[in-house]
């Protein structure tokens, strides 16, 4: 089982809709979770991080964490064509170093 799993997509939504991106992880002891956006040929950009169960909102973005289900999600409200990118879920390793372990990423396409 991979440490971090995401549906690779593509996920297509119309402009103005809500995009929902999902991620599951295998290490039950994981404490820190991150969402990054990556454009082709560029390095990842941090969108937000979440440590506690529940929702965390930042502008149009909401991260949701359910540690019991080992599940993290990212909601993007009022999606814009500029949101079209690959979204990477990352989980901080709690043992053997502090590296971020990334999922495959979900490609989001927002059509105008």
What does the binding site for other proteins look like in residue numbers (CB under 8 A)? Answer: 34, 41-44, 46, 49, 88, 96-105
Closest distance between other proteins and the C-beta of residue 20, in Å?
A: 20
Comparing CB distances to other proteins, the nearer of 18 and 99 is 99
Q: Beta-carbon neighbour count of residue 12 at 10 Å?
A: 13
Comparing CB distances to other proteins, the nearer of 51 and 80 is 51
Closest distance between other proteins and the C-beta of residue 110, in Å?
A: 19
Contact status, residue 65 vs residue 33, Cβ threshold 8 Å:
yes
Comparing CB distances to other proteins, the nearer of 37 and 64 is 37
Show the tokens assigned to 59: 């502008």
Closest CA to 5 of 30, 17, 81, 46: 30
Closest distance between other proteins and the C-beta of residue 10, in Å?
A: 11
Strand-pair partners of 96: none
Strands 106-111 and 100-102: unpaired
């Amino acid at each position: 089982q991979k440490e971090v799993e995401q549906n690779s997509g593509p996920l297509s939504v119309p402009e103005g809709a809500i995009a929902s991106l999902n991620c599951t992880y295998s290490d039950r002891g994981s404490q820190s979770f991150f969402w990054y956006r990556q454009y082709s040929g560029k390095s990842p950009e941090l969108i937000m991080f979440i440590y506690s169960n529940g929702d965390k909102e930042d502008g149009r973005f909401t991260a949701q964490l359910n540690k019991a289900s080992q599940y993290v999600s990212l909601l993007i409200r009022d999606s814009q064509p500029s949101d079209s990118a690959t979204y990477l879920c990352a989980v901080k390793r709690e043992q053997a170093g502090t590296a971020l372990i990334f999922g495959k990423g979900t490609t989001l396409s927002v059509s105008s």
